[in-house]
Amino acid sequence: MPEAIGIGLQVLVVDDEATIRRTLAISLEADGCRVVTVGNVADALTETTRTSFDLAFVDLRLGVDSGMELIEKLRSSSPWMHVVMITAHGSIDAAVEAMKRGAVDFITKPFTPAQVRLVTDREVQLKRLQQRVARLERAVDAADPAALFDSTSPAMRQAIELGRRVASADAIVLLRGESGTGKGVLANASHAWSSRSNRPFATVSAPSLSAQLLESELFGHVKGAFTGAMRDNPGRIAATEGGTLFLDEIGDLPLEIQPKLLRFIQERKYERVGDTITRRADVRLIFATNVDLEKAVKEKRFREDLFYRINVVPIDVPPLRERPGDILTLAEGMLNYFRAGKPIAGFNDAAANALMRYNWPGNVRELKNVVERATILCQSGPIGLEHLPITILSPAPKTGVSLGDLVPFDKIEEAHIRRVIASTKSLEEAAEVLDIDVATLWRKRRKYGI
């Protein structure tokens, strides 16, 4: 029996000959694919609203319709879908035209199971490569995420264990905690622990976009739906079909989008902006917030019914200051990640003590930035106090904010700017906190070498 090399692929077969549809479906299903067959363009487009397909086999001639034109429609509605043109009338010109319109391959009838298997095998290998690249990108962003889970803190260990347990249940999770505590890393790990780990994982940050762009990012839009919508966009929900969507800082979700998200959670149905077609999606949802959602509900900034729908399994991620035993472990793990072969021998006692004394208002994200900076400044030997920022050397006491009475004003400004940058996700957000424009922040960063 042939190996199920195409296992997990969602495949659409579009051919007006029932015998070809049946033969191709048998061959694909024998290789582990999940197959939907249709005989015309209209049915093909309808099926794409119900299922997110990885691959489509499209006949060149579909009665009075053209398979060439269908390629463009499929690629427009589902840009991730790969299309293979099939025809009994093969020619070099037809193959070239199909490729120009977005097809990835071209096979002629009568084809053999081996030819079909070659197509599915290549598709599986490509998806594995894409998933590997995505995992590597997420690992770079997280800076050794495994170190986050090597914790001595009972609260952190409880959060990790709960995240692992609910992953197998496919439950909706609400991660609660301060900015920079590692909620995104835990969400990523929960996806990796789940049965959806071989499907996409995507992150959407609610505060990062305007209401209109955020709605488009989530649900997608059709060409011409609004100014600047030059082409169809399927949206993150469609792009993560079968996988996990992580909505970060859900407390900042605009009120006008909240009913649409609530409906999707309840029914798994949605419409793209500017479209009337109702679509379905199978996506696991993980949410995160650094604000008190119950307070937001009382202040009418967050819908009560939405809160109850996302608060299925709340997981509290503790701030770094409440896990002092993890600080040096995390720092060493990040150092191993960032030094990239440089002969840096850990932290000397003075630097380690400074890391332990600091209150870490920016949590793990701030620690990551401090360690990355230190590995850039340190050429060899252990990292010392000279490689740490002034915020670490003159930390604000836990009961108030003070950088010392004898520190020059420039040093106070530099320390404050460094702290804000370390505690925010972007320079735009940092500039907003500092109440200056981005250009001014850029000049001050150049002045202080930040």
For 196-206, the pLDDT digits (tens) are 988 889 999 98
Chosen CATH of 10-129 out of 3.40.710.10, 1.10.3720.10, 3.40.50.2300, 3.40.50.970? 3.40.50.2300
Would 143-318 and 324-448 be classified into the same CATH topology?
A: no
Residue 112, C-beta contacts closer than 8 angstroms, at least 6 positions apart = none
Does residue 395 surpass a pLDDT of 60?
no
Instruction: Estimate the share of the chain in helix, then strand, then coil, as percent rounded to the nearest 5.
Output: 50, 15, 35
Q: What is the C-alpha separation between 100 and 89, in angstroms, rounded? A: 18
Range of weakest confidence among 113-117, 207-211, 248-252, 368-372: 207-211
Domain residue ranges in the chain: 10-129, 143-318, 324-448
Task: Return the half-sphere exposure (C-beta side, CA atoms, 13 A cut-off) of residue 67.
Answer: 28
Neighbours of 316 (CB within 10 A): 14
Confidence label for 2 from pLDDT (cuts 50, 70 and 90):
very low
Q: What is the C-alpha separation between 407 and 414, in angstroms, rounded? A: 11
Average pLDDT over residues 5-33: 85
Q: What is the pTM of this model?
A: 0.66
The three state secondary structure string of 348-372 is: CHHHHHHHHHCCCCCHHHHHHHHHH
Average pLDDT over residues 27-50: 89
Look up residue 364 and give its two tokens. Answer: 């793990």
3-state secondary structure of 42: helix
Q: What is the C-alpha separation between 94 and 99, in angstroms, rounded? A: 9
Considering the domain 143-318, what is its CATH architecture? 3-Layer(aba) Sandwich (3.40)
Q: What is the C-alpha separation between 185 and 207, in angstroms, rounded? A: 18
Confidence label for 230 from pLDDT (cuts 50, 70 and 90):
confident
Q: What is the C-alpha separation between 8 and 84, in angstroms, rounded? A: 18
Q: What is the C-alpha separation between 330 and 150, in angstroms, rounded? A: 8
Average pLDDT over residues 78-87: 86
Percent of the chain clearing pLDDT 70 (strictly above) = 90
Q: What is the C-alpha separation between 115 and 68, in angstroms, rounded? A: 21
Please check whether the domain covering 324-448 is classified as CATH 3.40.190.10.
Answer: no
Place of tokens 């191709």: 24
For 110-129, the pLDDT digits (tens) are 888 888 888 888 888 887 77
Range of weakest confidence among 254-263, 380-389, 395-404: 395-404
For 301-316, the pLDDT digits (tens) are 999 999 999 999 999 9
Neighbours of 34 (CB within 10 A): 15
Mean of the per-residue pLDDT values of the chain:
85
Confidence label for 25 from pLDDT (cuts 50, 70 and 90):
very high
- Burial of 378 (C-beta count, 10 Å sphere; 0-12/13-18/19+): buried
**Which residue has better confidence, 393 or 187?**
187
Confidence label for 234 from pLDDT (cuts 50, 70 and 90):
confident
Average pLDDT over residues 148-158: 86
For 169-184, the pLDDT digits (tens) are 888 999 999 998 989 9
Cβ-contact 173, 317 below 8 angstroms:
no
pLDDT of amino acid 399? 41
